[in-house]
Structure 1
Amino acid sequence: MENGDQNASSRPTARPRKPRAPNAPPKAHRHQGASLPARNSDFVYQDLRREIISMRLTPGTAILEKNLAQRYGVSRTPVREAIVRLAKDRLIDVVAKSGTFVAPIPLAMVREALVARRALEAATVREATEKASESQFMEIRAIIQRQRENAQAGDEAAFHRADDDFHAAIAAAGRLAGIWDMIQQIRIQIERYRRLTLPQPGRMLKVVGEHEAVLEAMVRRDADEAVAKMAYHLNNLQLDIAVFRDMWPDYFLLDPAVDSDLLAE
């Protein structure tokens, strides 16, 4: 046997990733600064944005320019530029005389984004039901199976990527890939909220079942049913807002003008 084969056979078998405990926010992310590519304000912006949206940086986390400049190996100027962009995205709050912090999740924006997303995904599902080929249905089914395996392994990051792939594949099958790009732009706050829901017992497998229901209606070429199943899937996020707001009250921002129902609970 070659040395390479001996080394491969002696490697330990990969173990399933231990799932995050129910009601626990995502673990803090350890950033490997030495492996970062070229430094510039756009990279700093994209990297911080990714960490905030994934909830690796949770609402209320202090953002220190000096530390970020050291971490990315840049001056404070590109860091400040990135912070300004993130503040415009409502992902960072710059508070005079207090500091800079990851912003809370504005529930009003979550609700508005859910309404917009339901409308856009209704269009992609309807078109995909009518236009998708059998091979495209097979691809979507394979994505759902991959998502099921991710859920069973407790791999939230891979589950999330497969979830994106599912919705993107439907848009592509409907020849409306550009609409998925639009959805990506409006769902920033939805994603932060959604990341909090994944560790709930059975949550990921429940999502898989909802995706399967959408696909089965599409395969039958029943566009109305497919749209209804997708709406049900997306509506479940909104129904649970009060529950997760109560679990992590410091993570959310309520607007008295539009969130009166939540304030009264």
Structure 2
Amino acid sequence: MDDFIRRTTTDAVYEQLHSEIVSLDLLPGTKLSEVDVARRFGVSRQPVRNAFTKLGNEELLVIRPQRATEVRGFSMDRVTLARLVRLSVELEVTRRAIALWTPDADAMLQENIALQERAIDADDMAQFYALDYDFHHLICSLSDNPLAFEVVLSCKQKVDRLCMLSLTKDRDAKLVLNDHRDIAAGMASGDLDKALATIHKHLSRLDDTIQLIHETHQAYFE
């Protein structure tokens, strides 16, 4: 029972700090104290230490012995790697999904796209971006590699955190939706070249934004 309580307490601290870091409520360079965080959550230091370790493993905190833990700054090398890994995975799962394509697969993508359209019409961007995640998760599942989305999600979150610094961080939802339509059309028709080209275009839309953030927010970079 004690192990269960400790595990769930660690999870609660981790999830809250993770949310605050990726949303930039805690900016890069912010110092965190185990004592202060434990007092804030009303817990002992052990679950806080466990949460810090998990966040450090995810490259969100820098933990140095005998020195203050702090929110990790951005690294263009790590951002570039995350984008490369995501692109590689998404291109491969698209190839595999096309090889396994069925009418049911097309119906599932079209249902997701229809929900995206409704979210845009309702100006519900939170729902739209959740459906954006679902769209890419669905392609991984249709490729018979659902766990590939864990890699996609990890890479996407690294870039999303960076793009929170942009004044234009809300992407043009209609452009994203049109990309999704083109990807789905390429997959349904078996047009591998079209599907892969659209995936590449879709994931390259943030190039200029990332470069601008690097130039205008250098204090947040390592």
Q: Secondary structure at the match of 1:101?
A: strand
- Which residue in 2 is equivalent to 1:113? 82
Deviates more, 1:62-71 or 1:197-206: 197-206
2:188 is the alignment partner of 1:219: yes
Q: TM (normalized to structure 1)?
A: 0.69
Q: Secondary structure at the match of 2:32?
A: coil
Q: Secondary structure at the match of 1:45?
A: helix
- Which residue in 1 is equivalent to 2:34? 65
Letter in 1 for 2:97: A
- Which residue in 1 is equivalent to 2:4? none
> Could you tell me how far 1:99 is from its partner in structure 2?
3.3
CA displacement, residues 174-229 of structure 1 (integer Å, 9 cap, x when unaligned): 21212222333444422312445594466232222222221121122111210111
Q: Secondary structure at the match of 1:115?
A: helix
Label 1:163 to 1:54 Cα distance change in 2 as closer, same or farther (>3 A).
Answer: farther
CA displacement, residues 203-258 of structure 1 (integer Å, 9 cap, x when unaligned): 232222222221121122111210111011112223432122234333333xxxxx
- Which residue in 2 is equivalent to 1:44? 13
Deviates more, 1:166-175 or 1:128-137: 128-137
CA displacement, residues 19-55 of structure 1 (integer Å, 9 cap, x when unaligned): xxxxxxxxxxxxxxxxxxx842233223322432344
8 Å contact from structure 1 (residues 130, 223) kept in 2? no
Pairing partner for 1:183 from 138, 148, 152: 152
- Which residue in 2 is equivalent to 1:23? none
Structure 2: give runs of 5+ residues left out of the alignment.
Answer: 1-6
Structure 1: give runs of 5+ residues left out of the alignment.
Answer: 1-37, 254-265
When you count helix as a share of all residues, which structure comes out higher?
Answer: 2
Output the CA distance in 1 between the equivalents of 2:177 and 2:193. 20
Letter in 2 for 1:69: A
8 Å contact from structure 2 (residues 163, 210) kept in 1? no
2:192 is the alignment partner of 1:192: no
Output the CA distance in 2 between the equivalents of 1:157 and 1:212. 19
Which of structures 1 and 2 has the bigger CA Rg?
Answer: 1
